[in-house]
Chain A
Amino acid sequence: MKGYRKYFLTKLAWFAITFVFAFVLNFTLPRLMPGDPVAAIVARQAQGISNPIGVQAIYQQYTELFGTNKPIIEQFFIYVKNVLGGDFGFSFSQYPRTVVDVIRASILWTVCLQFPAIIVGWLIGNTLGALAAYLKGGFDKVLMPISIFVSNFPAFGMAVILMVIFGVTLKWFPTSGGYGYDLIPSFDWKFIRSVIVHYQLPFWSIVLIAIGGQAIGMRAMSIYELNADYVKYSRFMGIKDSTIVRYVFRNAMLPQITGLALSIGTMVGGALVAEIVFSYPGLGTTLLTAVMGQDYPLISFATLIITIMVLSATFIIEILYGVIDPRIKAAQAE
């Protein structure tokens, strides 16, 4: 138990260190970009103003406001101070909205889309993989090549294909947005219905991608477990096959949780791109607009939020599988 606590604390410390590191990277990298984003905003704001002194004044005003005229170290400390006060600054491209405002509007969409999609994909993938390992034969022969193909299919490709088949050709679902463009977010039935309809294509494109990889992993794990020595021993001790199958799939499933922890970063990356394809109003699309508008406060914050999401998910999963899998727990407590 003591060993386990140590493990937990180490993990937590890791989490903190990584967070700090990611924070610094998130601040620094976008600011290294050549070019002057403030000039871009000013150009937008100053449209129609022909007076160069006026433009200059506006420019001054914005540089002051964003603090881009100070050395980067100083900017960093100001940033940290502001962040501790919950202020992440203004969005350049959507000024005068703050980045927190912009992200707040999109984060729920991303969480509600990706979290269920990854879980559902994981569950379906594992079930299919286990069945392929257990049933073998035709099922396996059909499922496996498909899974290999699907899991190697780029995430955006899957999104595009689904969009063309079900959105453009069959017209079952809309091809973009999170809800009908003519609606105002509210809790009436019409809006919710629209949200659900718009949800389908992005959701299934993420699910499909997740299924392939998980099915392959689970099949390999299950085959390994089915040939494990304890299976043979249990059989010869007279235990029913149904009980043994339960052992096998439990044991094969648990390491798959590790796989989930390791691949969640990749999955989120793929899912962000899927959002972009469907112009889903989540973080992915926000990120794209931020990139297009050279909006580095927004990029910093969006990537930071994504990092935190992935970090927390990884952390929770790691702790979780230590609790449910004695093999891992023993390894962790070492």
Chain B
Amino acid sequence: MRHTLRQIFRSGKFVVGFSIFMMILLIVIVYPLVVTHPPLEIIGQGTFFPPGIYVSTYDAINAPTTYMLNLTDAAAKRVANKLKNEDRLAMKEWMVAAGVPESEIDIADTESLLTLWKRHYDPNKRMEGMTFARLRYYQRVNAAIEGLLSTEAAIIAAKNRETGALEEVSAVKQTDYVNISEVANVRVLALGTDNFGRDVLTELVRATGVSLQIGFVAGLIATLIGLTLGLLAGYIGGLVDDVIMFFTNLFTVIPGFVLLILISFSIGQDKRGAFTIATVIGLTSWVWTTRAVRAQVMSLRNRDHVNLSKLSGHSIPYIILTDILPYIASYVVMALILQISSGILAEAGLSILGLGPRTTEVPTLGLMMNWAMIYQAPILGKWWAYLPVLVTIALITFSMNLMNTGLDQVFNPALRD
């Protein structure tokens, strides 16, 4: 046993797969201890907030201390940040129309663009064929730029309780800074929010946990059924074998995916909890394991040690447990790993079809993918809503398959290249 383990851990593929998998598992376990927000809590009003650190504006203004920092490039950065690319393009368009040579205008260089703009822009000049709306647009852009370039402080005013008049409470100067650690409310949304306004990262970690559980339950069920049937069919043979093989053959040719769709559908949305789905997946995917185990057992059935055991009058369960099972153990472990990873994929496929677990309690990787698809995240370019999910699924299945390949190389030397 010790020796086998050592050999397994000498296989590079296994170690890589194992490390990735353990890392995922560790994150799934540790993250909720650190970040205790409920994973399905809707925090964002609106869809698909981009990843980043969200700082409460109100609390920032009211931070206990303000610091003054004189940073030379602050103003330029402020403008650069505010001027969207389309605004720059529009400015260029205006100036070209006004006769500025196109080669002089570099919209990437904020400073030179602004200098040119200030020199040439005339808010009242009407261009040939320019709509009134467009004229107003340019005036707005110009006003915004001027506002940005002004050095006056922004006034914070509050209503006076009695008179109802606005009174200045404080002024925020352009050189004012707050230390983010002194701001009361800061929320890190490393992967932004999803279509419902939920924190994607927190949801993803929870979903990974649930999907792993689904995969594990499905894999365990499939492997247990497959192992039991395979052992019985392979060892006892005869009628038992015939009956088992009848059903195995039947379910080999009916595509498991179709069966899965039918069963999930017939259960109905309300009754489909995560574990119901896991059970259904397990119940539809044992066929492959049964066949494989049966083949292995048949090759073992007439080995000397088994015959010896038979002669010594051991019972069938005893022989299966002590003379057969240990020999196929490594094989069964590999089958289990494969079943787990294909269980995770099956849940995802079902959820995409709208046949996944009901959506109200727990997230799963498939459900997250489903939501992202329904709300068209890929087309809208909201990568954080689907890419991390895909990467997680791929990492899980990839790591499990690597482990399996590694195990295969240890236990089937013939496959070593």
Contact = CB atoms under 8 A, between A and B. Distances in A.
Q: State yes or no: do A and B touch (Cβ within 8 Å).
A: yes
Interface of A: 14-15, 17-18, 21-22, 25-26, 29-35, 133, 136, 148-149, 151-157, 160-161, 163-164, 167-168, 175, 220, 223-224, 262, 265-266, 268-270, 272-273, 276-277, 287-288, 291-292, 296, 299, 303, 306-307, 310-311, 314
Contact of B266 (A29, A160, A161): A29
A171 to B, nearest CB: 11
Given A164-B383, A265-B255, A299 B250 contact: no
A169 to B, nearest CB: 8
A14 B345 CA distance: 29
B402 interface: yes
Interface in B215-264: 249-250, 252-259, 261-263
Contacts of A276: 352-353
B339 interface: no
Contacts of B268: 33-35
Contact of A18 (B254, B259, B345, B354): B254
Contact of A303 (B258, B341, B349, B352): B258
Task: For the complex of A and B, list the 6 residue pairs with the smallest distance between their C-beta atoms, beginning with the closest.
Answer: A269-B257, A265-B255, A152-B397, A29-B262, A32-B266, A157-B390
Contact of B349 (A22, A149, A156, A306): A156
A161 B249 CA distance: 36
Contact of B255 (A31, A149, A220, A306): A306
B415 A224 contact: yes
A33 B258 contact: no
Nearest to A220: B415
Interface in B258-279: 258-259, 261-263, 265-268, 270-271
Contacts of B405: 148
Given A18-B250, A21-B250, 10 more contacts: A21-B254, A29-B266, A151-B401, A153-B393, A154-B393, A164-B378, A167-B379, A268-B257, A273-B353, A291-B355
A277 B394 contact: no
Contact of A310 (B255, B381, B398): B255
A270 B397 contact: no
Nearest to B380: A168
A303 B259 CA distance: 8
B255 A30 contact: no
Which among A265, A288, A311 has the greatest number of chain B C-beta atoms within 10 A? A265
B348 interface: yes
A17 B250 contact: yes
A22 B254 contact: yes
B162 interface: no
B262 A310 contact: no
Interface of B: 249-250, 252-259, 261-263, 265-268, 270-271, 341, 345, 348-349, 352-355, 369, 373, 378-379, 381, 383, 386, 390, 393-394, 397-398, 400-402, 405, 414-415, 417
A25 B259 contact: yes
A138 B250 CA distance: 43
Contacts of A155: 349
7 contacts: A14-B249, A29-B265, A29-B266, A160-B378, A160-B386, A163-B379, A268-B255
A271 B266 CA distance: 23
A287 B257 CA distance: 12
A272 B257 contact: yes
A152 B401 contact: yes
Contacts of B257: 265-266, 268-269, 272
A223 B257 CA distance: 32
Contacts of A291: 261, 265, 353-355
Given A156-B369, A273-B353, A288-B354, A299 B390 contact: no
B67 to A, nearest CB: 41
Given A148-B398, A154-B348, A273-B352, A30 B266 contact: yes
Contacts of B262: 25-26, 29-30, 299, 303
A307 B256 CA distance: 10
Contact of B341 (A26, A152, A156, A168): A152
A26 B266 CA distance: 11
Given A34-B271, A152-B341, A154-B394, A25 B254 contact: yes
Contacts of B355: 291
B414 A175 contact: no
Contacts of B393: 153-154, 157
Contacts of A164: 378, 381, 383
A33 B341 CA distance: 28
A292 B354 CA distance: 7
Contacts of A270: 349
B337 to A, nearest CB: 12
A166 B370 CA distance: 21
Nearest to B369: A156
B323 to A, nearest CB: 28
A266 B262 CA distance: 15
B373 A277 contact: yes
A265 B256 contact: yes
A168 B250 CA distance: 43
B15 to A, nearest CB: 14
Contact of A168 (B379, B394, B401): B379
Contacts of B348: 154, 156
Given A224-B415, A273-B352, A299 B265 contact: yes
Given A21-B250, A273-B353, A34 B270 contact: yes
Given A154-B393, A224-B414, A307 B266 contact: no
A15 B254 CA distance: 10
B20 to A, nearest CB: 11
Contacts of B373: 160, 277
Nearest to A18: B253
Contacts of A157: 369, 390, 393-394
Contacts of B398: 148-149, 152-153
